[in-house]
A and B are shown apart, each in its own frame.
Chain A
Amino acid sequence: MKRMSALLMATALVTVMAGCGNDNDNNGAASPNASGGSASPASTESASPAAEKKDVKIKIFNFKVEIADKFNQLAEQYEKETGVQVEIETHGGGEDYNALLKAEIASGSEPEIFNSEGFAALEPYYDRATDLSGEAWAKDVVPAAAAPATVDGKLLGMPMNIEGYGIIYNKDLFAQAGITELPKTLTQLKDAVAKLEAAGITPFSTTNEWWSIGHHTINVGLAEQPDPVEFIEDTKTGAASFKGNSVYENWINYVDLVFGHSQKDKLTTDYATQVSLFATGKAAMIQQGNWIQGDIDKVAKLNLGMLPIPLDDSGKSHIYTGPANFWIVNSKSKYPEEAKAFLNWLATSETGKTYLTKEFKFIPALVTIPATADDIGQLGAAVSEQAKDAGGWHWGRYPDGVIQGWGAAMQEYQGGSIDKDKLFEKFDQAIKDIVQ
């Protein structure tokens, strides 16, 4: 019996260790299926036969687990073409990427390229982030994607991709309700809602999730201010307020429309349920972003489109895009110039572009990279199409805690325990609570 358990213990230990071992292999540059390379589009390969092997190795600290394997393949390609070795270390998913990155840098190892979010999250790395505004691709970055990493006119990182949200609608249900013209103004949206209800279809699938009805919805009003940045800075000092702001007076009408014409149990609907309601065709519209494509595809193949969010009848409505993450070139590393060259290659070479869209399934943050619905999904294509004049994601301009306060206030408004005036007061209060 005793021996048995010892054996079990030993097996368990070996398994654990083997698990760690595998992990390291994956993180290393040499992934076994990369050498075959038959699937990868290697048209450029023959043009530049295996370049001289330089004694240069750049290290990328990658946070996106989903692309780890493909990224390793891409690194192989790059080494074949230029002779520069690229080592990719992936930490993400369940791991705390930001803490690991801090630990890595604190231990004296400076990766050439690492990931970071923009705005406040980037601040600790200002002294490391190299100015990339001079790079060939910099002028092609979608403006909304560049903003979070733009400091004093300098572009401090290359946006990985963009994500966008708006009103996603089910084309078939719209047709069923007899909506022929897509709503562009709030009045038209109200008409569409009335038509859907007349056809017995729930117009909106909404949620009580604080981030969705919170900063996603509130951001619509921020981005529609004549000068969003100025408005945000003024709300911090108290010079401007949500209460009495003309944009927000319109914005609340849109919010009321969504809350008033959504499924019955919206107060207890979490994100997953919200998406599944929409995916199963029980509601015709949902205010979410292209990230729900995967979850919808698991349930059904729907005919989808994305509408801009109208706050009034001016016809000037937008979807809202922002970058998920940035590639930062570390100026304190050994080969920052090689790192720049790699990013340049990623953004301009055919191989790099194809990987970004077809393999990584990213919505490109550069206007020069084409992407089709087949590559990045219907919603991705819709975002990509409207990205040029989309509004930005501005909530990152507020310190931590503000958006949580907003989310709580929106939940109370949704539940009917506070009215419009109190809601705006709470928005202002949430900023005051943290900033003062």
Chain B
Amino acid sequence: MSLRKKTGEWIRQSVFVGPGLIAFSIIVLVPFLLGFYYSFTEWNGLDLNKAKWIGMDNLNRIFANDEKFWASLAFTLKFTAVTVLITNGLAFVLGLALSRALKTRNFLRTVFFLPNVIGGILLGYIWQFIFTKGFKTIGEFTGWPLFELPWLGTPGTGFWGLVIVFVWQSAGYMMVIYIAAIVGVPKDLSEAAVIDGASYWQTVRKVTIPLIMPAVTVCLFLTTSNAFKMFDLNLSLTKGGPGTSTQSLAYNIYAEALVNNRYGLGTAKAMIFFVLVSLIAITQVWLTKRKEVEA
């Protein structure tokens, strides 16, 4: 009796969870475990049977002499810090502005959200054109020094070029999350604050922000992990150049595995990357979770 019940339960579980689990295993779990194995081998990515077990050599190599990997890590950290700040600042301000009673509200929301619909590769190419041709033409007409810089041609402009496009692309999405949260703040609380004599900014700071902390958590988490994993934009906008000065960590891994044909070393880097992303994500969620309050 109880055995039959148990089998029934099993069948039900596997019918409902099974398909998803199988897909997840094939697409995520198995490749991940394989990657874990390959990170200890020397392999060119072609014939599976030619992967040679070399133990910790890949990791030793990365930690002992792989300047480019560490340079790209430094670049990625800097990029993440800058973009997370700017994106969230901008998205929050946009969210505040577009949750007020404006006539063009819906139109503007669409406009700011639109860049997010275009894929990163395409955006990169569009902006590459804007930076190298558009900015140049504006510079020729106006003579403004900002537009006369060799955009994307120097490490500095390459970095800020990436930041601009990344912020432009992701601020719209974060804005939508902020709008949803701001609209969800109970009216009575802000009204009470106003009656008590609080100015607009005081209300924002003391009432709105504490109440939308869950949204802040989500947005910070999304922007951090997106910025840290940035790849498509990097590939199409600067190709990591000039030189390797704007090479993100993800791009460095890609180049190691698919350009240099060192799959083993590439997956070893990817494993380090995975650990880093998890660490950052966990700490950051844990930190902001503590700040969340309930109304």
Residues of A within 8 A of B (CB): 208, 210, 265, 267-270, 273, 399-401, 404, 408-409, 411-412, 414-415, 417, 433-434
Contact = CB atoms under 8 A, between A and B. Distances in A.
A267 B153 contact: yes
A268 B241 contact: no
A247 B202 CA distance: 71
Given A408-B241, A417-B155, A268 B132 contact: yes
Nearest to B242: A411
Contacts of A433: 68
A212 to B, nearest CB: 13
B155 A268 contact: no
A146 B243 CA distance: 33
A268 B152 contact: yes
13 contacts: A208-B153, A208-B242, A268-B132, A268-B151, A268-B152, A270-B132, A400-B261, A401-B262, A404-B255, A412-B243, A415-B242, A417-B155, A417-B242
Contacts of A265: 136, 150, 153
Contact of B259 (A208, A267, A268, A400): A400
Nearest to B65: A433
Interface string B129-153: 0011000100000000000001111
Given A401-B260, A401-B262, A208 B241 contact: yes
Interface in B221-270: 239-245, 255, 259-262
A412 B154 CA distance: 9
A418 to B, nearest CB: 8
A434 B260 contact: yes
Interface residues of B, number: 22
A401 B243 contact: no
Contacts of A411: 241-243
A102 to B, nearest CB: 9
Nearest to B154: A415
A218 B241 CA distance: 18
Contact of B244 (A401, A408, A415): A408
Nearest to B68: A433
B105 to A, nearest CB: 33
A434 B242 CA distance: 20
Given A210-B239, A415-B155, A417-B245, 11 more contacts: A208-B241, A265-B150, A267-B153, A268-B136, A399-B261, A401-B259, A401-B260, A411-B241, A412-B243, A415-B154, A415-B243
A160 B64 CA distance: 45
Nearest to B247: A408
Given A208-B241, A267-B242, A415 B153 contact: yes
A414 B150 CA distance: 12
Contact of A414 (B136, B239, B242, B259): B242
Contacts of B261: 399-401
